[in-house]
Structure 1
């Protein structure tokens, strides 16, 4: 199954972009090749670019506190397992405390590193980080893989509380919705939302269907148009019936 996600607002869009960057960073940082470590370092720069557009730290702290209060309200619900509830509450408290303890602006340690900032300035230029442009960076790339990895982890560590909080918020959001089986007739599906506010949509498809959802939505209506790819990979309208699962998520 393939899961497609669609954010309903800019805040969730930013969180999903950062999550995607974090997954790429995790993959490339654990690879041994200098080129892969170059991608990992460039991904940190991309994270700072995305995170710098909003006050994510305070926004995440507010959301975690809202979730904490909501979860506390479930204590008297007989259908809720107290052990699971306590575990989630403990995780929310732990992540919130670590984020509060994080000092300074997000990624300030990287911004204060003149050498890293010189690399960032060169990487935005196509081919700008060649050995003749930055011999010191080239020399660093020739170091043993474990030394390079330890450096990258050191530079990224101050960002860990932010990404732990981000991951928890998105996990709670995804768990807030229940999947419903739907069928798109002639490759199209519409649903009136009647002004109800959602944060994110999740659409699950069988990977063998060959269908690709193109999603647009606002607080009044949701529209999904399915396409498929030919040999030239250009999207083409799909006129078949398409079964899928739809999950509307909201805190």
Structure 2
């Protein structure tokens, strides 16, 4: 698996909340989330960790099979490549960094747009994985008496299990790498703006000549509030919520909340 995705967005004393502004970014964030789960559990060696890794690889496979996300990744790689091409004559651009960024994108494009590349084929066509997938649809279906082959595999050496997982998921690596590159470029594209949500509410209209792919909001990690973000192409709304201690229901806070806003577009 790739070494790119972190499990959560908590950094130092801040928590980052994100909201995709279109379906393409929504799909990328879902992939990133699933790869993060895999990366986390591969650091551990418990039976439940390996079962979670297999189950999550199945989720990634289903996501790729049921959606057009592969083509959306190709489109976004091409779009970002075009953006980089427009910057090549700018005096303020570091040519070495620009060339490196273009090479990273072109490398992933060469893999993913190859007509022979069908991500998740290796994993989904494995007999053991097919059996595991069927049992996953049954509550507690992975008990050792229901699936002795899984029980046998879980008792193999850590080295063998991780090597087999690498082999089974090898054709998913280009998707993983492309997801990281695309989201990393988008996240780094904006400058932070300090904003205030009066009575816990903030609304922003996006100008017609501008665009936004991803909303990011940073607040202090000890804040009792969290942002509930909703948005479409040209506007978004943020409501800061808290949990009512009496009813356990979420309610919009009546206080004024300072936060850091990023409207990201590459």
Q: TM-score, normalised by structure 2?
A: 0.88
Three-state SS of the structure 2 residue aligned to 1:131 is coil
Q: Deviations 1:187-229 (Å, cap 9, x if unpaired)?
A: 1111122455422111111112221001111234321110123
1:23 lines up with 2:32 in the alignment: no
- Give the Cα separation in 2 of the matches to 1:76 and 1:193: 28
Residue segments in structure 1 that go unaligned for 5+ positions in a row: none
Deviates most, 199-208 or 103-112: 103-112
1:218 lines up with 2:232 in the alignment: yes
Three-state SS of the structure 2 residue aligned to 1:203 is strand
Cα deviation, residue 106, structure 1: 1.9
C-alpha RMSD of the superposition? 1.8
Three-state SS of the structure 1 residue aligned to 2:172 is helix
User: Number of matched residues?
Assistant: 251
Select 1:155's aligned residue among 168, 178, 189: 168
Question: Structure 1 residues 75, 93: closer, same or farther in 2, change over 3 A?
Answer: same
Match of 2:137 in 1: 124
Question: Structure 1 residues 65, 10: closer, same or farther in 2, change over 3 A?
Answer: closer
Q: As a proportion of its length, which structure holds more helix?
A: 1
Deviates most, 109-118 or 181-190: 109-118
Q: Deviations 1:23-71 (Å, cap 9, x if unpaired)?
A: 1001112311122111111110011122222233332222212211221
- Give the Cα separation in 2 of the matches to 1:17 and 1:217: 17
Three-state SS of the structure 1 residue aligned to 2:204 is strand
Select 2:78's aligned residue among 53, 59, 65: 65
Q: TM-score, normalised by structure 1?
A: 0.93
- Give the Cα separation in 1 of the matches to 2:42 and 2:264: 32
- Give the Cα separation in 1 of the matches to 2:162 and 2:173: 16
